[in-house]
């Protein structure tokens, strides 16, 4: 009688020794079997005690995962003790039906390795979704990445005869065979990778890489970023089956003043115009740049550095460029729709995720929260952001989309 050898990948050296003991006990001469089986019985008793302690591991599905020790114990009772499959299974902690299936397969398939991972792939029917469906689905998502699964099923039904699979089967096929996954979509302008923008990036890289400009040694990256002043955690504790509502403060828009006209033809009463807030303006940015240059002046080694900015209208005003030049620095404007070329874009993205969203303490305000988040970004990460932007230069030279 032969005992199926395990693959060492699944079983290990100790398990291999136990199996060799089993083989030796079965194949030994009658005069040798008594003392060999005595030694084997002691080993199997140790295995039995260990399997009782470990129990059966749950796989998260409807079946159990049996350890190699438990399978060796089953083979011991089945092929050494010569118990029936059901009894061998009970004594080794294996389900009776599973033990009977193993015993039958060991008889019918001598080459079968009981220690390999058990799957039911051989019992599965060949699916309806073949290579032609795979190519068709991939082409559909190349054309419309936001198509729903129900749209794909409808398109398959119209394009292929006798197609009758439901959304669940198609979705599983997309994940396992088409290598597709659902992700959060990043929405951006269709002009971002137009031929004109690719040309502008190419010209920008060719121009500035021919100078002494070096992102890693003589550049300062400047940009503004918007924050929600009412940032709060996205979740809150509440009583079961009740919604939790968090009140936030909002600006109250002023109602327009009504002006009454007493008679036709009379002039309306003149009221002084009230200037509305325009958000960040060139004047605000000019003051910010002036303060930034004041800080840079404190470090003589930064004299002649480049100030790298995007091409927002408030950045490209002549007054901004003149101020930078008069102070002994130089300005660089990133091409339109090219945030990857400005490392500070990645920096702000990380900072926004690091800003605390809890209730302010007595010594905190929004500015201190943002400052703390900025200081918590490791300098090595900042260098990585800059290097990532440098790596985009080659794509720009090849006129590839960013």
**The token pair that represents 363 in the structure block:** 């010594």
> Residue 322's closest CA among 314, 331, 313, 334?
331
pLDDT for 6 equals 40
Q: What is the pLDDT of residue 249?
A: 62
Query: pLDDT (tens digit, 0 to 9) for every residue of the chain, 402 residues total?
Result: 444 444 333 333 344 455 555 555 555 555 555 555 667 777 888 888 887 776 655 545 545 778 888 888 899 899 888 899 999 999 988 999 999 999 999 998 888 888 876 555 544 444 567 788 888 999 999 998 889 999 999 999 998 888 888 888 899 899 888 888 888 887 788 888 899 999 999 999 999 999 999 999 999 999 988 877 666 766 777 777 666 566 666 665 566 655 555 555 555 555 555 555 566 788 889 999 999 999 999 999 999 999 999 998 889 899 999 999 999 999 999 999 999 999 999 999 999 888 887 777 788 888 888 899 999 999 999 999 999 999 999 999 999 998
**350-381 as b/e: b if 16+ CB within 10 A:** bbeeebeeeeeeeeeeeeebbeebeeeeeeee
Note the pLDDT of residue 384: 94
- Compute how many other C-beta atoms are within 10 angstroms of the C-beta atom of residue 104: 11
Q: For the chain, which residues make up each domain, given as ranges? A: 8-123, 131-176, 195-256+279-397
Domain 195-256+279-397 sits in CATH at: 3.30.420.10
Instruction: Quickly tell me which residue has 């059966």 as its tokens.
Output: 56
Nearest to 354, CA basis, from 372, 381, 328, 329: 372
How much is the pLDDT for 327? 94
pLDDT of residue 13: 37
Q: What is the spatial distance between Cα 22 and Cα 2, in angstroms, rounded to a whole number?
A: 9
| Residue 197 contacts residue 336 (beta carbons within 8 Å) | yes
233 exposure class (CB count in 10 Å sphere: 0-12, 13-18, 19+): exposed
pLDDT confidence of residue 79: 87
- Tell me how far CA of residue 380 lies from CA of 116, 376, 384, in angstroms: 45, 11, 6
Angle at 391 between CA 385 and CA 392, to 5 degrees: 100
Of residues 18, 1, 118, 8, the one with CA closest to residue 69: 18
Q: What is the largest CA-CA distance in the chain?
A: 130
- Partners of 65 in the β-ladder: 57
**64: helix, strand or coil:** strand
Say if residue 310 is exposed, middle or buried (CB neighbours under 10 Å; 0-12, 13-18, 19+).
buried
Q: What is the DSSP string of 68-121?
A: HHHHHHHHIIIIIS---HHHHHHHHT--HHHHHHHHHHHHH-TT--TTSPP--G
Q: What's the pLDDT score for residue 68? A: 86
Q: For residue 15, what pLDDT is reported?
A: 46
Burial 25-64 (b: 16+ CB within 10 A, else e): bbeeeeeebeebbeebeeebeebbeebeeeeeeeeeeeee
pTM: 0.54
The torsion defined by the Cα of 111, 115, 119 and 122, in degrees rounded to 10, comes to 0
Q: CA dist 231 to 136, 225, 349, Å?
A: 44, 14, 15
Distance of alpha carbon 199 from the chain centroid: 32
């Amino acid at each position: 009688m032969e005992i199926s050898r395990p693959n060492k990948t699944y079983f290990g050296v100790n398990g291999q020794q136990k199996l060799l003991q089993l083989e030796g006990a079965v194949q030994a001469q009658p005069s040798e079997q008594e003392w060999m089986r005595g030694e084997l019985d002691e080993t199997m008793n140790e295995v039995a005690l260990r399997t009782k302690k470990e129990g059966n591991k749950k796989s998260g599905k409807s079946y159990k995962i049996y350890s190699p020790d438990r399978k060796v114990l089953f083979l011991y009772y089945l092929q050494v003790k010569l118990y029936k499959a059901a009894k061998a299974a009970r004594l080794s902690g294996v389900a009776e039906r599973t033990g009977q299936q193993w015993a039958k397969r060991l008889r019918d398939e001598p080459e079968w390795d009981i220690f390999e991972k058990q799957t039911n792939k051989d019992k599965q029917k060949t699916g309806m979704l073949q290579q032609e469906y795979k190519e068709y689905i991939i082409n559909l998502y190349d054309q419309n990445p936001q198509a729903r699964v129900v749209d794909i099923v409808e398109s398959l039904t119209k394009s292929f005869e006798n197609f009758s699979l439901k959304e669940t089967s198609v979705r599983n096929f997309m994940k396992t065979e088409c290598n597709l996954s659902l992700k959060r979509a990043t929405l951006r302008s269709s002009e971002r990778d137009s031929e004109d923008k690719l040309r502008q990036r190419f010209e920008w890289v060719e121009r500035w890489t021919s100078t002494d400009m070096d992102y890693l040694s003589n550049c300062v990256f400047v940009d503004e970023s918007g924050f929600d002043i009412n940032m709060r955690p996205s979740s809150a504790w509440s009583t079961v089956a009740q919604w939790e509502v968090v009140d936030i403060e909002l600006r109250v828009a002023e109602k327009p003043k009504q002006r009454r006209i007493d008679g036709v033809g009379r002039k309306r009463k003149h009221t002084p115009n009230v200037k509305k807030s325009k958000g960040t303006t060139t004047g605000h940015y000019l003051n910010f740049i002036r303060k930034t240059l004041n800080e840079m002046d404190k470090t003589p080694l930064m004299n002649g550095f480049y100030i790298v900015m995007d091409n927002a209208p408030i950045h490209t005003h002549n007054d901004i460029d003149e101020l930078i030049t008069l102070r002994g620095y130089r300005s660089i404007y990133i091409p339109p729709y090219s945030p990857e070329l400005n490392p500070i874009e990645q920096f702000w993205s990380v900072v926004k995720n690091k800003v605390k969203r809890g209730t302010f303490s007595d010594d905190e305000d929004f500015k201190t929260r943002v400052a703390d988040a900025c200081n918590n970004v490791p300098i090595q990460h900042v260098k990585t952001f800059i290097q990532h932007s440098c790596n985009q230069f080659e794509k720009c030279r090849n006129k590839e989309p960013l």
